């Protein structure tokens, strides 16, 4: 489904702040896999997702989605294959547009830019109402409310819905529950599982929670200094618990695990 081959990315090359963020990162993902991605701050997780979506061009390496080499394609050209939800609930939606206008734009994702229109047709409205009702948040009665009026959790739920409106096959989630309170985060995670399963999506979910990394998805990958340093699935993964992952973390980093964010589990 996705092949990332020996990806390299250096930010600010040739300067004192040169940063080799991806260092030959390779990963092959099969159709229908749901991968949780862990790694300390600066490990290259977001950079990797940006490289897959086309928001960032890699310096070296190759990205193949569904057998097609997309390395040189723009994010827009990949939009039909890749959908994203970001950490910041404000990032994925337009707050000055209504809920239904945001959904209408998402509905057209992957089409040529000049065809995009935010007007909502009656047939779409019925579909949006139906989809929103599945969230159980009462948003189906608020189609014309501005997106900016919604809480962070409601916005992330709508963002997930938007990401899954078109049958793009690869879903990228970058700490998409990190800004939410625990109860709302749990709700959005359940929704994520449900959408990934019901639509048979292939997904990559970045998280700092070891618990989430093990409880969700089918495979867990740890990044460190721009490379994959751990890749577990199946029985090996099922046998792991949070302390095991934390121990692996500290081994990889060659230091004691003292990161508050990680210990939150
Ligand atoms: N646009 C950019 N310009 C310069 N440096 C960048 C840029 N984006 C990322 N970096 C650097 O690349 C490295 C990897 O960053 P990245 O955001 O991928 O880490 P991450 O694993 O997502 O970390 P976090 O857990 O904090 O989100 C970091 O050192 C970061 O400072
Ligand atoms: Mg990040």
Q: Could you tell me the two tokens for 130?
A: 């139906």
For ligand 1, atom 29, the nearest C-alpha belongs to 42
- pLDDT top residue among 77 and 61: 61
pLDDT higher than threshold 50 for residue 204: yes
Q: DSSP string spanning 55-110?
A: SS--SEEEEEETTEE-TT--HHHHTTTEEEE-SSTTTSS-TTSBHHHHHHHHHTTT
Each residue of 27-67: pLDDT tens digit?
999 999 999 999 999 999 999 999 999 999 999 999 999 99
229 CA to middle of ligand 1, Å?
17
> And the tokens for 148?
């900016």
Which among 245, 236, 184 has a CA at the least distance from the CA of 213? 245
Distance CA 132, CA 143 (A): 9
User: Tokens in use for 65?
Assistant: 């989605």
Length of the chain counted residue by residue: 265
Q: Average per-residue pLDDT in the chain?
A: 89
Ligand 1 pocket residues where CB is under 6 Å: 11-12, 19, 21, 39, 41-47
Residue from 139, 143, 140 nearest 99 by CA: 143
Ligand 1 atom nearest residue 42's Cα? 19
Q: What does the pLDDT look like over 9-29, one tens digit per residue?
A: 999 999 999 999 999 999 999
pLDDT of 134 > 50? The answer is yes
Within a 13 Å sphere around the CA of 195, how many CA atoms are in the beta-carbon half? Answer: 30
Q: Atom 17, ligand 1: which residue's CA is nearest? A: 46
CA 148 to chain centre: 22
Nearest residue (by CA) to ligand 1, atom 4, is 11
Least confident of 55-69, 111-125, 249-263: 249-263
What's the pLDDT band for 114 if we cut at 50, 70, 90? low
CA of 11 to the centre of ligand 1 (A): 9
pTM of the predicted structure, to 2 decimals: 0.89
Phi, psi of 257 (to 5 degrees): -80, 110
Ligand 2 centre to CA of 232 (Å) is: 21
The protein residues having their C-beta less than 5 angstroms from ligand 2 (an ion) are 45-46
């Amino acid at each position: 489904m996705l092949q990332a081959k020996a990806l390299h990315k250096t930010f600010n090359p040739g300067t004192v702040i040169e940063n080799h963020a991806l260092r030959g990162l390779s990963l092959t993902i099969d159709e229908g896999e749901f991968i949780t991605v862990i790694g300390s701050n600066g490990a290259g997780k977001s950079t990797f997702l940006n490289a897959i979506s086309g928001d960032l061009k890699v310096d070296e390496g190759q990205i193949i989605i569904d057998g097609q080499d997309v390395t040189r394609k723009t994010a827009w050209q990949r939009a039909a294959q890749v959908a994203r939800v970001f950490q910041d609930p404000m990032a994925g939606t337009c707050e000055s547009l209504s809920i239904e206008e945001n959904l209408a734009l998402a509905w057209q994702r992957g089409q040529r830019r000049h065809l995009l229109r935010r007007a909502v047709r009656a047939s779409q409205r019925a579909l949006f109402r139906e989809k929103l009702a599945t969230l159980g948040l009462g948003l189906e009665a608020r189609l014309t409310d501005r997106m900016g009026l919604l809480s962070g959790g409601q916005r992330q739920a709508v963002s997930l819905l938007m990401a899954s409106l078109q049958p793009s096959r690869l879903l990228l989630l970058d700490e998409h529950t990190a800004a939410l309170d625990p109860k709302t985060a749990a709700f959005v995670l359940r929704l994520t599982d449900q959408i990934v399963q019901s639509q048979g999506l292939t997904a990559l979910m970045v998280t700092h929670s070891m618990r989430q990394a093990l409880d969700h998805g089918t495979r867990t990958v740890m990044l460190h200094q721009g490379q994959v340093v751990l890749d577990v699935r199946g029985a090996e993964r099922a046998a792991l618990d949070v302390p095991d992952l934390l121990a692996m973390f500290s081994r990889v980093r060659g230091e004691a695990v003292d990161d508050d964010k990680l210990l939150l589990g």
